[in-house]
């Protein structure tokens, strides 16, 4: 079964390996359906398990999900998530995008300019406060009042902005507002990335298929004060493949999706939105082709 795109921020997706018709679901760390899962499957994670997985889950500012996989801040992520770092460290003599990079020792690890890593440390419900500000505002000022209250909450909650970041997340189209507090690391260094030919084999369309035939992986490491960060909460490596029917839990920083759309909305997209967009893109492609002909037009 292919796991779908996930909606929200730090969440779990559930699936069943190689199942013909698998169940699935998605939950935030503070609203995991422990009782329902235990009743259905005879097992459910306890709070210590959830806290460990949350502490081992990483969000990169490149927009990628990642996982801590060692006690010394080593992070596993996808190939394209470290691509900018490899490119920024490349020179005429050393093209790390084309040829890949592997640090033989810690001193060889390359600083990734602009790349930050964030680990979720706390979730707080601020729904009443944000919705209260919305209720008090006049109709024409609702958006402004909401944004001002969110900005105030984030500012009040994160005093040490060098090491922490606070973000108010809107869930269920404004039905809930949660304050997510992250531990932020600004010194991220490249450890390993395979060469372009194997890392991007199959192109972006292959990114949404399984099985895959490339090496879609890279490693970076967290540093602070010039030393690798101690990360006692990390995910271990399992050598054997998932078995058919096995319960799978996936933690990550999800992209947006369409899980909340109604059947009517999906039918509209199918019958009107996408066909129209295809016509527009075809017209634009034609114009670009004509423009590229330049003086060669006949």
Q: Return d(Cα 223, Cα 78) in angstroms, integer.
A: 20
pLDDT truncated to tens, each residue of the chain (298 aa)? 223 333 334 555 665 554 444 567 788 999 999 999 999 889 999 999 999 999 999 999 988 999 999 999 999 999 999 999 999 999 999 999 999 999 999 999 999 999 999 999 999 999 999 999 999 999 999 999 999 999 999 999 999 999 999 999 998 888 999 999 999 999 999 999 999 999 999 887 777 777 778 999 999 999 999 999 999 999 998 889 888 888 888 898 876 667 778 899 999 999 999 999 999 999 998 888 876 666 555 4
Nearest to 222 by CA among 104, 112, 103: 112
Q: Return d(Cα 196, Cα 198) in angstroms, integer.
A: 6
User: CA 87, 91, 95, 100 torsion: positive or negative?
Assistant: negative
Q: What is the pLDDT, as a whole number, of residue 215?
A: 93
Q: Return d(Cα 270, Cα 198) in angstroms, integer.
A: 35
| pTM score of the predicted model | 0.81
| Tokens found for residue 124 | 């707080």
- For every residue of 178-219, DSSP letters joined together read EEEEEEEE-EEEEEEE--HHHHSTTTGGGGG-SS--S---EE
Q: What is the widest separation between alpha-carbon atoms in the chain?
A: 72
- For every residue of 42-74, DSSP letters joined together read S----HHHHHHHHHHEEEETTS-EEEE-STT-E
Q: What is the pLDDT, as a whole number, of residue 128?
A: 97
Whether the CB-CB separation of 112 and 192 falls below 8 Å is answered with no
Domain ranges of the chain: 11-118+185-252, 119-184, 263-296
Q: Return the H-helix or E-strand segment holding 248.
A: strand 247-252
């Amino acid at each position: 079964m292919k796991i779908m795109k996930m909606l929200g921020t730090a969440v779990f997706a559930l699936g069943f390996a190689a199942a013909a018709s698998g169940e699935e679901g998605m939950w935030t760390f503070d609203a995991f359906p422990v009782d329902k899962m235990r009743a259905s499957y005879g097992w459910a994670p306890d709070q210590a398990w959830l806290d460990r997985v949350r502490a081992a889950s990483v969000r990169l500012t490149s927009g990628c999900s990642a996982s801590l996989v060692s006690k010394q801040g080593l992070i596993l992520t996808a190939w394209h998530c470290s691509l900018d770092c490899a490119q920024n460290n490349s020179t005429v003599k050393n093209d790390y995008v084309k040829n890949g990079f592997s640090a033989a020792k810690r001193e060889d690890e390359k600083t990734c300019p602009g790349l930050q890593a964030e680990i979720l440390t706390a979730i707080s419900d601020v729904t009443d406060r944000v919705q209260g500000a919305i209720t008090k505002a006049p109709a024409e000022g609702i958006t402004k009042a909401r944004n001002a209250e969110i900005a105030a909450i984030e500012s009040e909650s994160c005093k040490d902005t060098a090491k922490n970041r606070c973000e108010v997340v809107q869930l269920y189209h404004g039905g809930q507002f949660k304050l997510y507090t992250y531990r932020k690391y600004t010194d991220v260094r490249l450890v390993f990335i395979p060469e372009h030919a194997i890392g991007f084999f199959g192109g972006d369309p292959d990114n949404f298929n399984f099985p895959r035939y490339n090496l879609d992986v890279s490693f970076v490491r967290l540093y602070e004060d010039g030393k690798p960060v101690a990360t006692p909460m990390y995910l271990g490596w399992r050598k054997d493949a998932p078995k058919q029917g096995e319960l799978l839990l996936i933690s990550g920083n999800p992209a947006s999706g369409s899980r909340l759309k109604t059947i009517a909305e999906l039918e509209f997209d199918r019958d009107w939105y996408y066909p129209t967009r295809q016509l527009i893109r075809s017209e634009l492609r034609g114009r670009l082709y004509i423009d590229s002909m330049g003086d060669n037009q006949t």
